[in-house]
């Protein structure tokens, strides 16, 4: 099964010049979604991790399915002002603007080993911000995975430059 068949490109979304990969067809197909989680689990098993951190918002989908499959804990890295308790926060730039991520300060045990997960690696800014957020909060990030890597945008190199071990289920 070629998962790229379930990840069509959408031109000029969310703004002109951006090529968006739609995960909806993959999620709508039980066999494709199941296969994606199996592949992500194979990638995750290369890391000695205790918890996944899913990055808002589509990272929650793959993170929750993988956490269930692998029997690991899942923590949500959310956009600002969506968590009820005190948070750690990191701002970052996107290919189409700026944003920030937060995690609740009381969420992870002190000795947690974190594996980051999101749906797509594009420019890498979100993964780098999540890594900085967790490191500044005192946690060890042992790697990052995603469903899809858009190779031409330089995200993999940015992660490498920031000492983040990364792999993707599918690469374009």
**Alpha carbons 6 and 143: distance in angstroms, whole number:** 26
φ/ψ of residue 80, rounded to 5:
-55, 145
Q: Which residues contact 28 (CB under 8 A, 6 or more apart)?
A: none
CB 127 within 8 A of CB 121: yes
Active-site residue set: 58, 95
Name the nearest CA neighbour of 129 among 90, 96, 95, 167.
90
**Alpha carbons 88 and 72: distance in angstroms, whole number:** 22
């Amino acid at each position: 099964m070629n998962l790229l068949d379930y990840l069509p490109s959408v031109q000029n979304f969310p703004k002109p010049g951006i090529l968006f990969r739609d995960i909806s067809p993959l999620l709508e197909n039980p066999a494709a979604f199941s296969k994606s989680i199996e592949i992500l689990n194979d990638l995750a098993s290369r890391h000695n991790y205790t918890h996944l951190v899913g990055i808002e918002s589509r990272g929650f989908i793959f993170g929750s399915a993988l956490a269930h499959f692998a029997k690991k804990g899942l923590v949500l890295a959310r956009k600002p002002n969506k968590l009820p308790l005190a948070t750690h926060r990191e701002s970052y730039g996107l290919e189409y603007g700026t944003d920030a991520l937060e995690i609740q300060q009381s969420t992870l045990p002190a000795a947690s080993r974190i594996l980051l997960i999101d749906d797509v690696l594009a420019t890498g800014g979100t993964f780098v911000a999540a890594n900085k957020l967790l490191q500044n909060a005192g946690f060890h990030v042992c790697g990052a995975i995603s469903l899809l890597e858009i190779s031409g945008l330089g995200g993999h190199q940015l992660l490498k430059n920031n000492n983040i071990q990364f792999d993707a289920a599918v690469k374009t």
